[in-house]
Amino acid sequence: MIACDAQTNLFTISTRRTTYQMKADRHRVLLHTYYGPRVDGADLSYLIRYADRGFSPNPNEVGDERDYSLDTLPQEYSTCGVGDFRLPCVEFEPPDGSRLADLRYTGYERRPGKYALPGLPAFFGGAEEWETLVIFLEDAAAGMLVELYYGVQEDCDLITRAVRVVNRGRETVRLRRCASLCLDFQRGDLDFITFDGCHVMERCLNRTPLRPGIQSVESVRGTSSHHHNPFVILCEPEAGEEWGLCYGAMLVYSGNFQAAAERTQLENNRLLLGINPYHFCWTLEPGESFTAPEAALICSPDGFARMSCQFHRALRRHLIRDPYQGERRPVLINNWEATEFDFDAEKLVDIARGATGLGIEMFVMDDGWFGARDTDRSGLGDWSVNQKKLPGGLEALVPRIQALGLQFGLWVEPEMVSERSQLYQDHPDWTLGAPHRPQTRGRSQLVLDFSRPEVRAHIYQALRRILDSADIAYLKWDMNRSLSDVWSAAAPAGRQGEIFHRYVLGVYEVLDRLRQDYPRLLIEGCSGGGGRFDAGMLYYTPQIWCSDNTDAVDRLRIQYGTSFCYPVSTVGAHVSAVPNAQTGRTTDMATRGVAAMPGTFGYEMDLRWCTPEERETIRRQVAFFKEHYALIQTGDYYRLSDPFRNGTYTAWAHVSQDRREVLVCLVTGSTHAAQPFQTLRLRGLEGSARYRADSGQIFTGDALMHAGCPIPLLPGDYQAVQIYFRAE
């Protein structure tokens, strides 16, 4: 619900549990008054106080009124260079070279439904579920209009933010910075939680108190990156899973980003989230506009679990466009770990035959099927079937796979090119690379310039020829290097600061065309695993390969951090061969299955060499996953332990939204003699309900949540158990 008071310029946004408020003051500066637990019927601008602070200057219009300074006021969208020395949201560079921004309120609009962002991913929904508020700010001297967009979804406690900047003047203006979200807090005692790591160890939770100054996580790699995720949390120091005030902020974007928190001289905090200003410069001719990516906010007065459940629901219902909406996605087998590049049609069919009778429904052919692709040093970009490996092409192979009762899926990497390819020989200027400099390789490949329409058109037509040649149900879109040498041969010098962002827009355009032309095609995103695991990609690819690290024990940590924002249905997770390729660790098939089930589920191994006992385990795993698919994929997800702190076990639970079904999953750590008796307290149940376990034992919801469920003594390292409860 949005309430607008045109007389006092007070704007109040209410969701089911929270209130967000701002107000334009007597100098038309838009101030942020409050964001937190729901407060009805109050003008909360009384919380803003004024005092003369040394070295905090005063706007010209206040004269000698020294207690009014932009440097000390909580702003809704912060200015630049005109008296506020904290993190700026926007920076204009007119022809005179000044880099100032002084924004004043000029009006508002209230609209039914959810705004859309042309060319960019964004949450969606109709007038029955969403409202939109647009606030207009103006820098009269620069001739610039800034439109602040707010989308409100009450049930999920979701508030989205977006920004559009319009050049209404007569001169060219260069936009040097444009954040999507500014959030000022009139308190300093907050913790900053980020999700960091590296390739094969993504999204590990890091929590630290905010110190004076600026703390930030960011990416300059051209993608959101393995190293930092564009989702962060600010919370009270005592906040945990079930208690405490916390704020989750997510950027719906897949390129360079910056999430920065600044603790100020007055013990206040400012959170800024948006495109990284590194190498960003967007030229706006008179009449032109720029739209920044969307940001999304959820405040939970009741801890992390509530925040996570709300993000999961919002993403599933209002961002992800799933071709299997309301249906079960197929369980698949991928050939990469079984063969890498060493395969032919007969070997692939033989591997697929090994999956029959186990309940597996799709076979995915990975890298190596196209061009002269016998290693990762050649062939990339030549999207035609290697006839030596696959005589007759996909037209011959796919029906053979389908005859075994399996759908067919395919791996591609459209954004990259090998120098040893026909595409590169024909169009070397189609790659990113500055003139008179040697190009930097990553995984022996270069980056195609997706900012160029002719490059996008060529790649899209190549993908269409592939998809039209056979019945292909699934496409794995990979991207295996960071962007470097970011310079486009098609852009003038003054526009090179646009290439990072135009590249991302180009990727979005191709993916959106695929979605429109092949509405039943399931696309899985991938960037060396989790290098581009963000809400922007989820708009186009409803699932993303979570990590190239498939070790069951490491995955417990990776998936733990991922779960704070992203729902189970988005997490590409498979059972792989042992010893694991990344860690050398061996865990049994049952444990690998339990670790992979809070995800899309599948297998990355050669099932031909499984023992009869292992095949029977796989058969039971697949049947169990299918039986409980709706509970796992759409139920509320509860973290019951922290794998970074509790070495004894890692546990989580899926609870149906009506709280009638519960699936508890637990994996032990390394074992020791004289194991203690332990109990596991559940969350999210109906306290008065009676839950029958699959063992037949009956517990009340209150007993399971407060007294706990006994954890069985499991001999050996890394053992797993699943317990299913149903309310009577």
Q: Residue 676: pLDDT above 90?
A: no
Q: How many domains are there within the chain? A: 3
Determine the 3-state secondary structure of 399 from DSSP. helix
Tell whether 609 and 716 lie within a shared domain.
no
Tell whether 51 and 30 lie within a shared domain.
yes
Asked whether 4 and 50 are in contact (CB, 8 A), the reply is: no
CATH number at 588 reads 3.20.20.70
Tell whether 356 and 470 lie within a shared domain.
yes
Residue 134 resides in a domain:
yes
Residue 486 resides in a domain:
no
All residues at 6 or more sequence positions from 185 whose CB lies less than 8 Å from its CB, including other chains: 35, 74, 234, 268, 269, 270, 271
Tell whether 612 and 645 lie within a shared domain.
no
Give the mean pLDDT of 628-637. Answer: 98
Residue-level pLDDT at 671? 87
Tell whether 587 and 687 lie within a shared domain.
no
Q: Residue 6: pLDDT above 90?
A: yes
Residue-level pLDDT at 575? 98
Residue-level pLDDT at 672? 87
Return the active site residues. 534, 614
Residue 440 resides in a domain:
no
The encoded tokens of residue 581 equal 């390729």
> Which pTM value belongs to this model?
0.97
CATH number at 676 reads 2.60.40.1180
The encoded tokens of residue 127 equal 């007038």
**Using only C-alpha atoms, what is the Rg of the chain?**
27
pLDDT band at residue 164 under the 50/70/90 scheme: very high
Tell whether 573 and 690 lie within a shared domain.
no
Tell whether 626 and 669 lie within a shared domain.
no
Residue 489 resides in a domain:
no
Residue bearing tokens 């089930």:
597
Q: Residue 205: pLDDT above 90?
A: yes
Q: Residue 674: pLDDT above 90?
A: no
Looking at the chain, the whole-number percentage of residues with pLDDT higher than 70 is 100
Tell whether 473 and 559 lie within a shared domain.
yes
Residue-level pLDDT at 604? 95
The encoded tokens of residue 561 equal 């951090």
Q: Residue 473: pLDDT above 90?
A: yes
Whole-angstrom Cα distance, residue 59 to residue 275? 28
Whole-angstrom Cα distance, residue 377 to residue 388? 18
End position of a domain, from candidates 632, 650, 665: 632
Q: Residue 527: pLDDT above 90?
A: yes
End position of a domain, from candidates 265, 284, 318: 318
Give the mean pLDDT of 712-727. Answer: 95
Residue-level pLDDT at 647? 80
Tell whether 616 and 676 lie within a shared domain.
no
* Domain of 341, in residue numbers: 332-418+454-481+523-632
Residue 375 resides in a domain:
yes
Whole-angstrom Cα distance, residue 22 to residue 526? 39
Q: Can you name the residues that pair with 225 across neighbouring β-strands? A: none
Residue-level pLDDT at 379? 97
CA angle, 412 as apex, 515 and 197 as ends, to 5°?
95
End position of a domain, from candidates 254, 287, 318: 318
Give the mean pLDDT of 629-651. Answer: 95
Tell how many helices (H) and how many strands (E) occur in the chain: 13, 39
Residue 266 resides in a domain:
yes
Q: Residue 643: pLDDT above 90?
A: yes
Mean pLDDT of the chain: 97
Tell whether 160 and 87 lie within a shared domain.
yes
How many other C-beta atoms are found inside a 10 Å radius of the C-beta of residue 114? 21
pLDDT tens, residue by residue, 377-393? 999 999 999 999 999 99
Residue 445 resides in a domain:
no
Tell whether 461 and 476 lie within a shared domain.
yes
Tell whether 362 and 255 lie within a shared domain.
no
Looking at the chain, the whole-number percentage of residues with pLDDT higher than 90 is 98
Asked whether 207 and 193 are in contact (CB, 8 A), the reply is: yes
Residue 628 resides in a domain:
yes
